Structure 1
Amino acid sequence: MQKHLLLPLGGLAATGLLAAALVSPATAASTVSKAKLASPANAADIIDFWTSDSGANLKAAKAYGAEHKRVPKHVSTGGPAADGKPGVVPAIGYEKVAGGKSKNVNLPKTVGRAFFVIDNDLYACSASAIQSQYRNLVATAGHCVYDLDSNRQTVSKWVFVPGYYDGKAPWGVYVGKQAFTHYDFDVYEDLDRDYAFVTVYNGIGYDAKKEAFVDLGPLGSNAGGQGFAYNQKVGQPVFAFGYPAAPHDDGNYVFTGEKMKWCYGKPVYPVVESSVKVEEQIGLKCSMTGGSSGGPWILKYNSNRRLGYINGVTSLGGDTDGNHRSDMITSAYFDGETYGVYRAAYSLWSGSLVKKDGSIGITETK
């Protein structure tokens, strides 16, 4: 029996990323790996690659996934353990605001697609803007940033497009600057730590009349930013958002990746998949397929504000009942070490890529 996973499987690079120790209030010490994605010098080529020909490469990107023969095993006892007190970071702009209730599910502006290249192949995952000091941070899955299949540290030409739909970028394109993940994910392929936080440069748009690029400002100023929650009790209802694109195992193409989808439910724990070293992920009943990797699991989501607290990101998924249809997605449990990785990226500045003449080049100053 086969199932379709939401992440690629394979050997991780033998050389780890640069590691640094970070002390957080929730843990004694959290170990962080970081790597550069793009400098201002090569950003122009990255923007041109994804936006030329009316975004043809955006539309051509494939869901990042692979086939695997084992099915995750649900175990009813045990589960991820909090390593400290529960904590939250409020969403951008709503640090002191209490929101109302809505009967409708209004899709979040923060969620979009992350596009990248591996060996000349075009791929896409899901991701979301998240609160940070300079409003320039994206949350996604670790395997949507780091190349697990070769000796390269990171994927190339990584960009984030919030609110993506049908090849359009309503709030601009954001080039990834630096990526942060857990040291154990980087070095030991520990998919129980399958999450990443990426700092991005200011958004870039294009003025057709002036035939010039436009600086759109920080990501959070345009799309907002979700809050962050860690060490939370498992079982609280969450909304999971993403851009599924891969077919079900029966060959049925339900999703195209061109529009955002969502699931709602109470996560269960733990999900065990020893073949990929997963022992303590949490699972959610959901039919989203490959391409939804990295999409946020949002706790206490408010449809009026379109904001809540990211408490997970989609990692694995597949068919658990043998009918060849995807019916579950999983996420790493967000604990104090997750918070440590998040905080390592939280206060880093990125800056603008657009020069006064409307071209893209080295303008990074502070």
Structure 2
Amino acid sequence: MKRLLVPLAAAGLSAAALAFPAAAEPTWVQDPLAPKPADAYSNAFFWLDGNGAALKKATQYHWDAKDVPKLMTTQAKSFDGKPGMTAPITSAKPGAKVKNVNLPRSLGKVFFLDRKGNYQWCSATSIQSRHRNLVATAGHCVYEDGKDVYRKWVFVPGYYQGKAPYGVYAGAYAFTTYDLDVYDDYDGDYAFVAVHNGFTLTTEKKVTAAEYKAWAGDKWIKKREITAEEFAKCKLNLGDCWSEGEDTPADLVGPDFPGAVLEKVEVNEKTYTDAKVGRGQGFKFGEPVVEQVSKVEQDAYKGPGKRGTDTHGNYTITHYYTQKWVKPGTSRKYFAADYIIGLAKDTGKLGDTVGGQGFAWNQPKGQPVYAFGYPGDPHPDGDKPFTGVTPKFCYGKTGTKTYQVNTFRVEEHQVLKCSMTGGADGGPWLIKYDNAKRTGYVNGVTSLFADQDGNNRIDLISSAYFDSETADVYNKATLAETKSLVGPNGEILY
């Protein structure tokens, strides 16, 4: 995929904006996810359709046990640049409650398709931005192997047990570090994604053919079978009614003809007596059937069977049958079209709906932090304490030293003691977390999981250190403008 390295307008950068010499190597990249509203609507509808069937089908971004590294301690590194913060969005509208009230409303999952077509998810959070439309997550939850962006990328805040209480927000543009994008360097394993307004699917409505044709949103035709009489009364010029197939009689075939159907034909006694025994056209069909009837029924009988009486004087009709092997005929069927449109509702800008966490960079290590996410992977030993359905968190002080792991080109990760497993990656690390307001400052996102003591249990997670380069990527992302996808009548806005 072609990279967009065109810088955004510099007006309105936050205090973290950095000035780079013209000849300096770029530190950030921008990639399109679904800038056009119609494409974004299609991506979000993919996950919402069928009562969220695709959401429920998705599995966590998976770390194989062999990929769980042991992080190596390096000397504590001092980072150039002054510390900075942007305040969280605290004016979120009330909405559906998350099970644990201490969890931030901004927390959710990102869903996407990888190049193999697998349905996957990671953790993420809404974050403060100029246009209240930004999501923070791990870079590997947006970029596949540090190259192309994933397909059908969306964010679902407040995700809980297959539900999207605040709607689905389709990604428009992704921003990450140049080193992650080009070199798959996990020292830059974070991404900021500008998303369009969210929406939910509300109901469906039957409309006329003209209304159906003019509808810009989701729509489909339901095929309804009708009678030949109803078909004759239907207006054919608009294609509202049609027929399929044709009337054809059944053909006589041999018993071994593919799809041959066996029928029985009533015959007289002589025909039955002369017929052969076995399996074939005109052969006997079982033994004669003796039916007890009244005198009136016997007199009224017009068939080829034999009238008589039994030893007790009861009136009888003896029926004789031969085999008839046929290829079934067909009949014309008639249908009418019901024109259906799907109605959607705009849930507004992400930050206005669920709020957004603040952002922090160049912060000292060793301070308290909450790490949130949706862990779902088992531990390397196979134990699976998490379902991936509900959000979890870890709390503690980050390590004071810098960590590295050569497998992922990591030299400068910060760490936190935590037993959350894969699926929590991309989840925010929040410093200065206010439990009442459920807001803090994103100072990292879960990137790697480690087994430090070698007992095949995750006991440490790591994040890229958010420095001045991170602030630069964030500042570019916060300027990205996005759109509403749905109009006041539930239609797509182009």
Place the TM-score, normalised by the shorter chain, in its bin.
0.7 to 0.9
* 1:108 is the counterpart of 2:104: yes
- The structure 1 residue matched to 2:190, chosen from 195, 200, 207, is 195
**Counterparts of 1:237 and 1:144, CA distance in 2:** 25
Q: How many residues align?
A: 336
* 1:140 is the counterpart of 2:272: no
C-alpha displacement at 1:57, in angstroms? 1.3
**Secondary structure in 1 aligned to 2:39?**
helix
Contact 1:202 1:351 in 2 (8 A): yes
Q: Write the letter of the residue equivalent to 1:288.
A: M
**Counterparts of 1:20 and 1:285, CA distance in 2:** 39
Q: Structure 1 residues 69, 342: closer, same or farther in 2, change over 3 A?
A: closer
Corresponding residue of 1:97? none
**Secondary structure in 1 aligned to 2:103?**
coil
**Counterparts of 2:82 and 2:17, CA distance in 1:** 7
Q: Which runs of 5+ in 1 are unaligned?
A: 1-14, 95-103
- The structure 2 residue matched to 1:233, chosen from 364, 372, 382, is 364
Question: Percent identity of the aligned residues?
Answer: 50
Contact 1:21 1:31 in 2 (8 A): no
Q: Which moved more, 1:267-276 or 1:111-120?
A: 267-276
Q: Where in structure 2 are the equivalents of 1:203-352 lying within 5 Å?
A: 203-208=198-203, 211-268=342-399, 269-352=401-484
C-alpha displacement at 1:339, in angstroms? 0.4
* 1:17 is the counterpart of 2:32: no
CA deviations 1:219-271 (Å, max 9, x no partner) are 01110000000000011110000011111111112111111100001111312
CA deviations 1:129-169 (Å, max 9, x no partner) are 000111100000111001117xx621000000001000011
C-alpha displacement at 1:19, in angstroms? 2.6
**Secondary structure in 1 aligned to 2:413?**
strand
Contact 1:86 1:231 in 2 (8 A): yes
Q: Write the letter of the residue equivalent to 1:140.
A: T
C-alpha displacement at 1:200, in angstroms? 0.3
Q: Structure 1 residues 218, 279: closer, same or farther in 2, change over 3 A?
A: same
Corresponding residue of 1:75? 73
Contact 2:168 2:198 in 1 (8 A): yes
Q: Write the letter of the residue equivalent to 1:186.
A: D
**Counterparts of 1:347 and 1:112, CA distance in 2:** 22
Corresponding residue of 1:184? 179
**Counterparts of 1:348 and 1:179, CA distance in 2:** 10
Q: Which runs of 5+ in 2 are unaligned?
A: 21-25, 92-99, 206-341
**Secondary structure in 2 aligned to 1:178?**
strand
C-alpha displacement at 1:27, in angstroms? 4.3
**Secondary structure in 2 aligned to 1:360?**
coil
Contact 1:116 1:155 in 2 (8 A): yes
**Secondary structure in 2 aligned to 1:148?**
helix
Corresponding residue of 1:62? 59
Contact 1:175 1:203 in 2 (8 A): yes
Q: Write the letter of the residue equivalent to 2:129.
A: S
* 1:130 is the counterpart of 2:127: yes
Q: Write the letter of the residue equivalent to 2:186.
A: L
Q: Which entry has the higher C-alpha Rg, 1 or 2?
A: 2
Q: Structure 1 residues 26, 86: closer, same or farther in 2, change over 3 A?
A: farther
C-alpha displacement at 1:31, in angstroms? 1.9
Q: Write the letter of the residue equivalent to 2:110.
A: A
Q: Write the letter of the residue equivalent to 1:44.
A: Y
Contact 2:370 2:429 in 1 (8 A): yes
Q: In angstroms, what is the RMSD of aligned CA positions? A: 2.0
**Counterparts of 1:41 and 1:299, CA distance in 2:** 38
Corresponding residue of 1:99? none
C-alpha displacement at 1:47, in angstroms? 2.1
Q: Write the letter of the residue equivalent to 2:161.
A: D
Q: Write the letter of the residue equivalent to 1:177.
A: A
Contact 1:44 1:361 in 2 (8 A): no
Contact 2:366 2:397 in 1 (8 A): yes
Contact 2:69 2:449 in 1 (8 A): no
C-alpha displacement at 1:361, in angstroms? 4.5
TM (norm. structure 2) is 0.65
Contact 1:355 1:361 in 2 (8 A): yes
C-alpha displacement at 1:105, in angstroms? 7.2
CA deviations 1:196-231 (Å, max 9, x no partner) are 000000010122376510011100111000000000
**Secondary structure in 1 aligned to 2:387?**
coil
